[in-house]
Amino acid sequence: MRLIFLGPPGSGKGTQAKRLQAQKNWPQLSTGDMLRSAIQAGTELGLKAKEIMDSGELVSDEVVVGLINERLKGNDCQSGFVLDGFPRTIPQAQALDQLMDRLQLQIDASVLFEIENSVLIERLSGRRTCSSCGAMFHLVSAPPKKEGQCDSCGSSSLIQREDDRPEVIQKRLKVYHEQTFPLIDYYEGQGKLRRINADQSLSEVEKALSEIVEGDMNGHH
Ligand code: AP5
């Protein structure tokens, strides 16, 4: 299946995309992760993107469409994928439609993770990521087994993202409402929007998501 995960920062898109990747082998295509890798590698793109991301603004449509265009050529994308954090603007959604047309493929569904702002702030401020392997934790809801140490690779470099500082979180939420929110109508208009209550436990969200996936696979929507 080819899915889009749509929703505000901190709504759990990345967490569920990773779970789906492990279960179904549909790669998680996260433009945020791609940009962070470019920053870590010190590429020209990374240098440009860092300042924009740290301020909570969006990187240009042209850059992220280029990244997705390249990534979709990967062999691992042929039987399905989950777009996590892309598209985020109407021009990005239109570019994706054109790309799909060219490849003679279709997006099956766009899953909207719905959740209140107050919960998002709590989730983002408690998020910690392993800088070695990318595993994700939350200080309260999903803490590492041993404090400060990654469960997956054992590294002791659990870091807070620059853009998870309170003032940047507010900016990201504002940008989401101004630029990404219109995509809800866009995918509703295409009959592809599926809504999930993202303010539930990890396993409840996972269950709701598998019902959507099974429903779409069996043509029940
Ligand atoms: P990006 O990396 O995409 O960030 P985001 O969309 O803001 O989303 P997040 O990664 O913050 O949240 P998430 O929904 O994945 O939640 P998560 O699963 O981590 O983008 C970063 C920046 O890159 C952008 O600001 C922009 O500058 C740039 N960018 C990226 N894509 C772009 C694009 N297409 N166009 C332009 N610019 C782009 O969960 C959050 C926390 O909550 C975790 O700690 C997790 O453990 C916890 N949690 C998750 N689910 C639950 C649950 N059910 N219950 C309790 N806790 C939970």
**Quick one: which of 182, 165, 17, 184 has its CA closest to 85?**
17
pLDDT (average), residues 49-58: 97
State the catalytic residue, choosing from 36, 50, 123, 127.
Answer: 127
Query: Which atom of ligand 1 lies at the shortest distance from residue 175's CA?
Result: 25
Walk me through the domains of the chain, giving residue ranges and CATH numbers: 2-116+175-217 (3.40.50.300)
Active-site residue, 127 included:
yes
CA of 20 to the centre of ligand 1 (A): 16
Ligand 1 pocket test: which of 37, 94, 141 has the largest number of ligand atoms within 8 Å of its C-beta? 141
Name the residue among 127, 123, 129 with its Cα closest to residue 40: 129
Say if strands 2-6 and 193-197 run parallel, antiparallel, or are unpaired. unpaired
Residue 48 clears pLDDT 70, i.e. is over it:
yes
Is pLDDT at 221 greater than 80 in this prediction?
no
Closest CA to 139 of 120, 163, 123: 123
pLDDT tens figures, 175-201: 999 999 999 999 999 999 999 999 999
The amino acid present at 73, given as its one-letter code, is K
For the segment 13-19, the average pLDDT, to the nearest whole number, is: 95
Q: What is the average per-residue pLDDT within 75-104?
A: 96
Q: Which DSSP category does 179 fall into?
A: I
Strand partners, 127: 138
**For ligand 1, is residue 20 a contact (CB within 6 Å)?**
no
Q: What is the mean pLDDT of the chain?
A: 95
Phi, psi of 134 (to 5 degrees): 85, 0
Indicate the residue type of 119.
Answer: V
pLDDT at 28 over 70: yes
Q: 19, 71, 88, 123: which one is catalytic?
A: 88
Whether residue 19 has its Cβ less than 6 Å from ligand 1: no
- Express each pLDDT in 105-161 by its tens digit: 999 999 999 999 999 999 999 999 998 988 999 999 899 999 999 999 999 999 999
User: Which pLDDT belongs to residue 220?
Assistant: 67
Contacts (Cβ under 8 Å, ≥6 apart) of 121: 10, 166, 169
Contact between 161 and 129 under an 8 Å Cβ cutoff? The reply is yes
Q: Which atom of ligand 1 is nearest to the CA of 137?
A: 46
